[in-house]
Chain A
Amino acid sequence: MTACGGTTKDSNTNTGSGAQAPAAADPNAALKEGLKIAFLPKQLNNPYSDVETGGGKVAVEELKGEYKLVGPNDASASSQVSYINTLIQQQQDVIVVAANDPNAVCPSLNQARAAKIKVITFDSDASKDCRDAFINQATTEGIGQSLAKMALEQAGGNGGEIAVLSATPNATNQNAWIEVMKEELKKPEYAKLKLVKVAYGNDDDQKSFQEAQGLLQSYPNLKVIVAPTTVGIAAGARYISSSSYKGKVAVTGLGLPNQMREYVKDGTVTKFALWNPADIGYLAAYAGAAMASGQIIGAEGEKFKAGKLGEYTIGKDGEIVLGPPTEFTKDNIDQFNF
């Protein structure tokens, strides 16, 4: 049934976002001092995003700007919008945001851009047409392949059942990595591995702990739990280390060295990976400052300097890739403190 003259999915033509064409970049422009740079993570008091924004703070101090950190208490799609609106009212120069939902934040981010605020996303991208650049901690492929590789290494020679313990069911980045991992698992070298379930701990410690427990109750032959989230891997490792599965079931994925140190030392975890989150915030602040100073506009191929991290080149769709993830084992974990 279709109503006469109604607007349907097929007849609906949304035209461009109406973002004004920016002025040409001037690569030799000086970095401005006193820039107001605000960080808006998915939610506050998450140890991982605290490290990220901490890196941002260091960069903003180097840039002699004004650093600000705001954010909701819950990682829901709409809770960030009020905070973005507040930042617009305060006339920040740069908003660095990790989107809880790529579309829900769009109208307000575009309002920010209309008010001459530069919008840089990190962690979880917003739709391409409502931000100026995206700091990608690693390529989606790189992470997904690394997860599959670590699972294969730790499942042992005979392979077996593996399960994923993710964050929220709608986490943009986690879902993208899991997709790549699934694609990897189809390859012949992964034939011995069988992905039996993707569980969601909602990035909540208690829920993740219970989900890890539930996984082993439902799948007693499980060989590896792969958690592409720092909350999940820590909760999973805590459960395994305190259970009879210790040494029989491997936990791997993406984790913070400080949270995982004891589990690496007690043999629960042999290897996990991550990029340096402090560098993400640091790079985002520099990208925002370069943009607010007119050095770059977010076009492909532009280059800018990000302090101690050196020179970066903007890729397709305004993506800036931080670099390959670091793997942590008992041999190198003590070199890291975040």
Chain B
Amino acid sequence: MSDTPRKSSAIDLGSAIKSRLTSWDSIILVLTVLVLVVASFSVDNFGTSRNFTFMVLDLLPIILIALPMTMIIVTGEIDLSVASTLGLTSSLMGWLWNQGLSIETIIPLCVVIGAICGVVNGFLITGLGLPSLAVTIGTLALYRGLAFVVLGDGAVADFPWNYTGWVTGTIGGGAVPNDLILIVALALIFGIVQHATPFGRSLYAIGANAQAAHFSGIRVARTKFWLYVVSGAVAGLVGVLWTLRYSSARADNGSGLELAVVAAVLLGGVSIFGGKGSLPGVLAGVVLLTALQNALRLEDVSGQALNIVTGSLLVLSVLLPNITTAIRGHWRRRKVRQAAAAR
């Protein structure tokens, strides 16, 4: 911070706090905590350790894929091929297992396959300069199609129990699922990179104005390229975890997950136009959606009603920040007018 000190620092601090409080990140964090607390008290069986385990298992795929997705959307791009990458990885995992490879070889291989899917996206988007929305809609269909070529309509299910058991198991048979280690570790890594490194700051610069970022020495294309590779690798890893959780390798695994992830990221306060958003907000967004769905299900709310709630939340999340910005802008203009009148 090399700002020249201003006279009215107290007012600055006040407005900084005010802007923090009205920012969507904090609203979503408060909302999430609120939902968790209220549900624990009012929904039967919500606050049990077993339900916590179930929720973490439901969170896992969305949260992991959301980590790189957040970075990609912050740079103003998008990756809609993640769920298909997951499906392709799952298919290949089944196929390789049938070929007699060891699971210890297959798992890293699957992450590499996911990364290769990301390389293809990254090359098309940064190498050829094509729009990411069009490219990843294309590869969404392409990878899903390949998944069906690999495994057809069958399923492979005889994965080793010590692996499938680990994915659905808990630490020492307690309440904390093994997967939580993965989620926390990856969330920490991505959080630190996004919010505490020059690389992370460059993402926001790219999202705010890619050209300006380019002229100030940020390697825009290279940055985006690697984001897609990481996104693919994470989708590959989730493909492995998904397959083991359901002990079923299938070509249609994870269908439609890309929209759930994008929804969670936007709900977490990341702007679809790039340049704005924080990882804690996204994590809260994912937890909020999952907890809400879980609680409503325990209350026997139908799937359609769940969709209505989720959809309304999303619309609100896009609407509210705009309203607050408009109100703040109006206030500021009024203050300026009053100051001008007072002079």
From 117 to 154 in chain B, residues with beta carbon under 8 angstroms from any chain A beta carbon are 148, 152-154
Q: List 24 A-B contacts (CB under 8 A).
A: A6-B103, A7-B163, A8-B101, A9-B100, A44-B302, A73-B303, A76-B256, A77-B250, A82-B293, A83-B297, A89-B45, A89-B51, A89-B54, A90-B44, A90-B298, A91-B45, A102-B157, A103-B246, A104-B250, A107-B168, A107-B246, A127-B157, A170-B250, A200-B153
Tally chain A residues at the interface, Cβ within 8 Å.
42
Residues of chain B whose beta carbon lies under 8 Å from any beta carbon of chain A: 44-45, 48, 50-51, 54, 58, 97-98, 100-105, 148, 152-155, 157-164, 168, 242, 245-248, 250, 252-256, 293-294, 297-298, 300, 302-304, 307
A104 contacts B247, C-beta separation under 8 Å: yes
**10 pairs of A and B residues whose beta carbons are closest in the complex:** A6-B102, A169-B153, A103-B157, A104-B246, A89-B45, A104-B248, A85-B54, A73-B303, A6-B104, A3-B102
Tell me, in angstroms, the Cα distance from A336 to B106 when the chains sit together.
54
| Shortest beta-carbon distance from A318 to chain B in Å | 19
A74 to chain B: which residues have CB within 8 Å?
255-256
Tell me, in angstroms, the Cα distance from A168 to B104 when the chains sit together.
32
Whether A78 sits at the interface, judged by CB under 8 Å, is yes
A78 contacts B256, C-beta separation under 8 Å: no
A85 to chain B: which residues have CB within 8 Å?
51, 54
Tell me, in angstroms, the Cα distance from A241 to B104 when the chains sit together.
56
Whether A106 sits at the interface, judged by CB under 8 Å, is yes
B300 contacts A70, C-beta separation under 8 Å: yes
Nearest A-chain residue to B61, judged by Cβ: A78
| Shortest beta-carbon distance from B254 to chain A in Å | 8
B157 contacts A8, C-beta separation under 8 Å: no
A81 to chain B: which residues have CB within 8 Å?
246
How many A-B pairs with Cβ below 8 Å? 124
Tell me, in angstroms, the Cα distance from A107 to B58 when the chains sit together.
14
Residues of chain A whose beta carbon lies under 8 Å from any beta carbon of chain B: 1-3, 6-10, 12, 14-15, 44, 68, 70-74, 76-78, 81-83, 85-86, 88-91, 101-104, 106-107, 127, 168-170, 175, 200
Tell me, in angstroms, the Cα distance from A51 to B89 when the chains sit together.
38
Contact with B103, one of A8, A15, A103 (Cβ below 8 angstroms) = A8
| Given A77-B248, A78-B246, A86-B297, A8 and B253 contact (CB-CB distance below 8 Å) | no
Tell me, in angstroms, the Cα distance from A311 to B159 when the chains sit together.
40
Tell me, in angstroms, the Cα distance from A14 to B160 when the chains sit together.
7
Nearest B-chain residue to A78, judged by Cβ: B246
Contact with A7, one of B98, B104, B168 (Cβ below 8 angstroms) = B104
A10 contacts B100, C-beta separation under 8 Å: yes
